[in-house]
Structure 1
């Protein structure tokens, strides 16, 4: 059963004054979140706040670490949505089974999920470079070299795809999208040997460090041609910064039907290197190859009809089809993309 929006509004209006001394005069639903219900609060001083309400069962301690990572990035000069601390100094307020966090509402901003084009590329590349340079100093762990197989693990993907197909066979698909997801899973499994061969050209070792963890176009807020805020950090963990940069370069809305791809992402990589010269050129030249490998190994959103049927909306279906198509486009244009990257990094 879906939560009652009015009940959620009432719960937020009740907890926010107690935990933050913010007196709401208006509470409305905000943009939909993947794992949260979001609200926008306007207070009696006409300030607006963004409120994230966590689902029951959420690891609140992990969410606090994610908010701390956002604060850490902000201190490093990265534009973020400033988190409002509770009256007791915490980052998450909880009462009666309700847990939420509050941050400053970023006015007059829009997400980048419509795709990256033109001058957005170097602007985003520069900010992501600053982000990774700042997070490299995070106390959760210093940057280190790891085998390339840890950046894109084909063996794990093979096991996951086998398990997903077995689950579908035990519960035959009942919708068109679920049927397509099963067919796509078979296609990805069959393509894994070729994908593994493609990944052999990666550097033997690549850099891993603390990264954002979920850096994608919906988590970049833009305003007047600039990045207004990087939002929705995940708890600190060591992953490849190239993997994270590649998630933006391989965004389906950006790649498909864009005649300027892959020239434009190369501008982003160039701006990234200027902001974060500590990451090796060998790593940066692998951005598109890592992105193709990551997408080819991913089961999202193929597993959604089984894991969370309610989440399968027309927009998610469209995104799933586009994401699957993007894998083929990245592999088809891989040599061209890497030649462009070699030129900008020369």
Structure 2
């Protein structure tokens, strides 16, 4: 039986495994019927938490999720989360964290999802040109209109979370109740500041990419050809084996696979159980592209890791270390655009 966890201090109870819908639509599974089959299986297993975003397959993921929930009649039983920020058109204002775009984006998501309200509405990435009070002010209005229940962030650095918390207190605005960071056996950078800050401010944590973009599925092993994937084409720096960070990931995966086998686990089970073991983490997002992927991940929330296993993991990948910085999901523009360092 699923043991539900409370999201931060909201009282909202969610399953430890959250069904991520990024791979529904032309990015991954193009069939709405097969996507619905995956969703139905997850719900039947006790999952009550679904996460998507407007950006995923440019809205098609939201449409597939909405259609599946309408067929199942289980919308009222589900905690439904989506996000905005990414570019949804060619215009300069069809993206970002401004009031104008948030108001338009939430209406678009409500229509695609076929629902009157969104349980958790998240800002997909920080935006340095937009005042967080602008963003929180717009989101607060949406909460008061009943279109959104709770607010969250995704891939925000710790100092942005603190700034947002202070802005909420200072202006009497709704606060972000959870953060969604990248976190896995290979991507542990958030342990240094993001997770402690979330704990300090009573925020829930929903981790994305607990299988490190496929690296922890068993497909990436020494001696094997690098598997082809759409993700590798979109994010080459995270898979290019000529990069030292990815070579370090490959070395770590070999040791982690042995550790999993020695303890009667699959690498997938070890990876998912690891993220759920951290006391700051509420739920971890599984993002299956196929029904078989889902089956290999269900039940991982029932795995308990011993102190000895956790200590061995720390020896393989040190706490707070991300082996390839490209896996962090976001970098401040001052690091990615030289013009911001040389004005």
Larger Cα Rg: Structure 1 or Structure 2?
1
TM over 0.5: no
TM-score using structure 2 length: 0.27
Bigger proportion of residues as helix: 1
